Amino acid sequence: MKVLAALSGGVDSAVAAARAVDAGHEVVGVHMALSRSRAQHRNGSRGCCSIEDASDARRAADVLGIPYYVWDLSEEFEETVVADFLSEYEAGRTPNPCVRCNEHIKFAALLDRGLALGFDAVCTGHYARIVERAGPAGTVRELHRAVDLAKDQSYVLAVMGRARLERSIFPLGDVASKDVVRAEAAARGLSVSAKPDSYDICFVADGDTRGFLSARLGERPGEIVDTSGAVVGSHRGAYGFTVGQRKGLGIQVPAADGAPRYVLETDPAANRVVVGPAALLSVDEIVGGDVVWLGEDPSSLTDVTVQVRAHGEPVAADVELDGGALLARLASPLRGIAAGQSIVVYHGSRVLGQASITSARRARSGGVGCSGGSLSRAPR
């Protein structure tokens, strides 16, 4: 196959491309330039897509003996990932930019361009597995968790959809640990073998998300109130807060019982942040929209679980899909669920689908009462 290997400049993508070469594919490396600032430098393990990363990607391609190109996707990145990030916070939701990047850039802009140029698939350094099995209509490709659960990225890949899953290769899904990848990179003579992992939000390289939002959206002073409506503090922009947040609230009036308070809700229309006790953060029902489904009709499946954070623990749930909406009734409550985040549905290690959380609530005073979890119906 003709394979387009996404080279970020890190060790994972370099080893993934090397494994694609070993598999006999005709591999071409491409680095996605996502920053509008060509002079952007990497800040330790923060940020990515810098000029250093582009140079590291080129050196990796040279070692592997494959062609190498840089594609400027900065306009697409700004208009999709960054714009979504800003609009979601402005609307009182908490986005996951890694999910949007995989959806719009790595498995839309990159893959679609690659297919137009005659490539058969895209290869990336994501930690996830694609399992093929025989189905009634032929071979079915399933998205599964990586062997190394500590590095598993199936949560952020669930949004890719069936069509793009068919055109994707994840060579690192079966590795036991990141140490194995680094050792393999060193053995291959790849200089990125000891390069630090990137983390946090790549386009907020200094880690100051609230500062980034303030610079882009401007200061919008407002009130912080408790559940009775009493003013207990002030803020410079409700967009700078997320459900479950405890630190950095700037509350001037302590709770009567002295207990810590958390963000329960952000109200962008009133430019108000509502805070309260931790007990009010627990929810047992989650509603999602913009459903992306990867599985077949799963009505007979048991032991269905959901995950609401990239590295969160899976929780057993009853899940219903009706048209464009998803409802998950959790076996045990979760805390601090924010609208805008992804809820991903699993059956064992397999990803069934995902949705963007629109609301969450505590529907029961006690436990939910579903032990193994099941999915009652799926969209037709």
Tell how far CA 296 is from the center of its chain: 23
Determine the pLDDT at residue 13. 97
Instruction: Please report the pLDDT score of residue 375 as a whole number.
Output: 42
Given pLDDT bands bounded at 50, 70 and 90, which one contains residue 374?
A: very low
The pLDDT value recorded for residue 295 is 81
* Cβ 328 vs Cβ 322: under 8 Å: no
Q: At CA 332, angle to CA 330 and CA 333, rounded to 5? A: 85
Residue whose pair of structure tokens reads 């099941």 in the numeric block: 374
Say if residue 153's pLDDT is above 80: yes
Q: What is the pLDDT of residue 367?
A: 41
- Furthest CA-CA distance within the chain: 68
The one-letter amino acid code at 274 reads: V
Per-residue model confidence (pLDDT) at position 303? 86
End-to-end CA distance of the chain: 33
Reference 169, options 354, 10, 345, 27; nearest CA is: 27
The predicted-structure confidence for 129-139, as pLDDT tens digits, reads as follows 999 988 777 88
pLDDT band at 192 (very low <50, low <70, confident <90, very high): very high
Residue 27 has pLDDT above 50, yes or no: yes
Has residue 376 got a pLDDT over 50? no
Residue percentage of the chain with pLDDT more than 90:
70
The answer to whether residue 79 scores a pLDDT higher than 70 is yes
Mean pLDDT of 153-166: 93
| pLDDT of residue 168 exceeding 80 | yes
**For residue range 327-371, what is the model confidence (pLDDT) as tens digits?**
999 999 999 899 999 999 999 999 999 999 999 998 876 543 333
Q: Are the CB atoms for 43 and 205 separated by under 8 Å?
A: yes
> Which of these, 365, 359, 376, lies nearest to 318 by C-alpha position?
376
**Selection from 111, 134, 106 nearest residue 121 by Cα:** 111
Q: What is the pLDDT of residue 322?
A: 83
- Taking 60 as the threshold, does the pLDDT of residue 373 lie above it? no
Segment among 253-257, 316-320, 367-371 with least mean pLDDT: 367-371
How crowded is residue 189: how many other Cβ atoms within 10 Å of its Cβ?
10
Name the token pair of 206.
């200094």
- How much is the pLDDT for 297? 54
pLDDT at 179: 96
Band of residue 109 on the pLDDT scale cut at 50, 70, 90: confident
Average the pLDDT over each of 92-101, 247-256, 315-324, 367-376 and give the range with the smallest value. Answer: 367-376
What's the pLDDT band for 49 if we cut at 50, 70, 90?
A: low
Contacts of 106 (CB under 8 A, 6+ apart): 6, 32, 122, 124
Show the domains of the chain with their CATH numbers. Answer: 2-194 (3.40.50.620), 219-276 (2.30.30.280), 281-377 (2.40.30.10)
Q: How confident is the model at residue 380 (pLDDT cuts 50, 70, 90)?
A: very low
Instruction: Band the pLDDT of 200: cuts 50, 70, 90.
Output: low
DSSP 121-142: EEE---SEEEEEEEETTEEEEE
**Average per-residue pLDDT for the chain:** 88
Q: What pLDDT does 45 receive?
A: 46
The reported pLDDT for the residue numbered 203 is 85
Q: What is the mean pLDDT of residues 272-289?
A: 95
**pLDDT, position 256:** 85
The string of DSSP letters for 27-75 reads EEEEEEE--S-TT---BTTB--S-HHHHHHHHHHHHHHT--EEEEE-HH
Q: So which residues are the catalytic ones?
A: 101, 202
pLDDT exceeds cutoff 70 at 92 = yes
pLDDT in tens, 170-187: 999 999 999 999 999 999
pLDDT given at position 369: 37
